[in-house]
Structure 1
């Protein structure tokens, strides 16, 4: 495996661990804000990085089909699984009050609206629709403009959008408003693809670690100033001008760290299975909480009582993702790429890089 594939696997693996940890209950707010500052921008960046010249030669209809298979089918599958879990459990959760009066069919609207507000059966599914929208817009735009033109265009639009965005604005379907911001990172990743060989050749492992620590130190500093951010809810912090700075510092800090360490089987497995870990870990968190409350009589607040529970939730979800992935790949192979090799190669979404 070449060095460039190795670092992409490592970045994806660390990224999905940060996603799970970031959602783990009881996490320190500063740590959470630090993670949220760049973990989702990271995945859009990687998706742009994996948009190959081969895929760019596809027709728009071919690329649409490719992304539907890569993102649309898993999205519908995990929504359906989440909905089946939500039906008997939503009135039992600590947040049951907000579901009072909601008929059983109401969440079905969410699968068609496709944004975080409507996907309350499993809110993380917003990423699937947003990535689908983002990648399709960029793919079409790339047919007409150079990668540098799109880098400047999409980052300029996204920067202006975050500065003027108001929480009172209505949310748009299929993550279109999220995509306005995500396109900046996607275009940056695709532009970086053109220069990654130069970076890999010029940056030694000994220099990469100090570079990573230097960049991450600024992430920590700027996060203190900017506070809580969340791309899903369109929250860009106290000083919106810092949002993109923190995101790019975090992305490249992780990049330098990833090229300085060796790949291993754990990184490879995590990278390959992000598409499963991403939507199932919140369901696992809910199951963990239910078992603790019903079987052991623990109060719902136990989850926030100690950092031990925070780490235990995250580690347990990651470990249980292994048997979950075996089950899903065996019994639902058509959902997760077990069908015959695709005509157009692997998608640049959550699937394994390469």
Structure 2
């Protein structure tokens, strides 16, 4: 399948671009629900005050889940385009939002870097330093907007997959990348260097992406709610054991835990568990809306966190060495998700291209 980028409006990073009704587009409600679960996990994982145990569990599979779902949707809903057309569409859907939200984060950083606690960390940094992150796409250098590294990673991963998919089946790509990823994560992070445009995580991201694409045509998930619930519960115990035993995983930082085998196994079990659990949530309208607007949530929640943290700092809420706790993490996460609704309306009215969308075309009534 050559033109899969047409489906990126439904994919993990760019679902926010899609305004049409799910039924009209042949959407998969389970996949949209799974994307909603994934992005909520990401939002909560980025909030200050979240327990370390949650971070270990969520990070064990939520980024692989996004690549897996993107590959699934690409394979299931893609349409034929030339490779050049595919890249242009990918750039519009992923790189334009990347640039727009980097500039928003950069602008906020410039305005606030000399205020309060930020002055100690950023006050001496030259104003142009964050631009290195923009032009290289290296995750740790994108500190003015840490979440958008995923847009570059998904662009590169999808572009490579589309090119290879013309010659090999998704399953063959997945198996080849599993071997390469296994060797890669066992050696490359030790060098302590980073490659631009997410090339240093490409073996891992492409494995999960291709695995999702292969699963789209082969995996048969239970349809009954009870069947999905029982299977999800059965997967939970081994996933918990593997994730906790493997320790911290952060793909953006090239951290994969203590064991290659545990990393891949925990990721697989976590992905399978979410796919089962998504069947229980797919009828909820709020879940479907979030699942269709994951790009918007991904790109805006960090900015909301920055503003709320700045307000809290100026108000002295965490003075005297006090630190944010779980209550704060839940509060700011809920606010970020709630604010995505008015922010969606604003972007669709003023700058739909910033979230990978086109301006809605309203038919004239006769």
TM-score by length of 1: 0.89
The 8 Å contact of residues 70 and 209 in structure 2, kept in 1 or not, is answered as yes
- For 1:145, which of 143, 168, 174 is the aligned residue? 168
Aligned pair in 2 of structure 1 residues 53, 266: CA closer, same or farther (>3 Å)?
closer
Partner of 2:349: 330
1:179 and 2:198 correspond: no
Partner of 1:9: 32
Alpha-carbon distance in structure 2 between the residues aligned to 1:53 and 1:257: 20
Alpha-carbon distance in structure 1 between the residues aligned to 2:337 and 2:320: 22
Partner of 1:60: 83
Partner of 1:116: 139
Deviations 1:67-98 (A, max 9, x none): 00110111111011111111011233645444
Alpha-carbon distance in structure 2 between the residues aligned to 1:330 and 1:277: 17
Alpha-carbon distance in structure 2 between the residues aligned to 1:262 and 1:297: 38
Instruction: Mark the runs of 5 or more structure 1 residues left unpaired by the alignment.
Output: 342-354
Task: Give the alignment of 1:311-330 within 5 angstroms.
Answer: 311-330=330-349
Alpha-carbon distance, 1:41 to partner: 0.7
1:136 and 2:155 correspond: no
Partner of 2:7: none
- For 1:308, which of 327, 333, 340 is the aligned residue? 327
Alpha-carbon distance in structure 1 between the residues aligned to 2:315 and 2:97: 32
Alpha-carbon distance in structure 2 between the residues aligned to 1:242 and 1:53: 29
Aligned pair in 2 of structure 1 residues 69, 300: CA closer, same or farther (>3 Å)?
farther
Task: Give the alignment of 1:253-332 within 5 angstroms.
Answer: 253-296=273-316, 298-299=318-319, 302-304=322-324, 306-332=325-351
Alpha-carbon distance, 1:100 to partner: 4.4
Alpha-carbon distance in structure 2 between the residues aligned to 1:340 and 1:294: 40
- For 2:267, which of 229, 247, 257 is the aligned residue? 247
The 8 Å contact of residues 257 and 263 in structure 2, kept in 1 or not, is answered as yes
Aligned pair in 2 of structure 1 residues 327, 56: CA closer, same or farther (>3 Å)?
closer
The 8 Å contact of residues 105 and 303 in structure 2, kept in 1 or not, is answered as yes
Alpha-carbon distance, 1:301 to partner: 5.2
Larger mean CA deviation between 51-60 and 27-36 belongs to: 51-60
Alpha-carbon distance, 1:54 to partner: 6.6
1:224 and 2:247 correspond: no
Alpha-carbon distance in structure 2 between the residues aligned to 1:271 and 1:215: 23
Aligned pair in 2 of structure 1 residues 302, 332: CA closer, same or farther (>3 Å)?
farther
The 8 Å contact of residues 289 and 300 in structure 1, kept in 2 or not, is answered as no
Alpha-carbon distance in structure 2 between the residues aligned to 1:301 and 1:131: 39
Alpha-carbon distance in structure 1 between the residues aligned to 2:59 and 2:116: 25
Instruction: Mark the runs of 5 or more structure 2 residues left unpaired by the alignment.
Output: 1-21, 362-366
Alpha-carbon distance, 1:262 to partner: 3.8
Deviations 1:280-318 (A, max 9, x none): 2122112111111213553285443x3211211211111
- For 2:188, which of 162, 165, 168 is the aligned residue? 165
1:26 and 2:49 correspond: yes
1:83 and 2:102 correspond: no
Alpha-carbon distance in structure 2 between the residues aligned to 1:41 and 1:307: 25
Partner of 1:206: 226
1:36 and 2:36 correspond: no
* RMSD (Å) for aligned C-alpha atoms: 2.1
Alpha-carbon distance in structure 2 between the residues aligned to 1:308 and 1:261: 24
TM-score by length of 2: 0.86
Alpha-carbon distance in structure 1 between the residues aligned to 2:185 and 2:142: 23
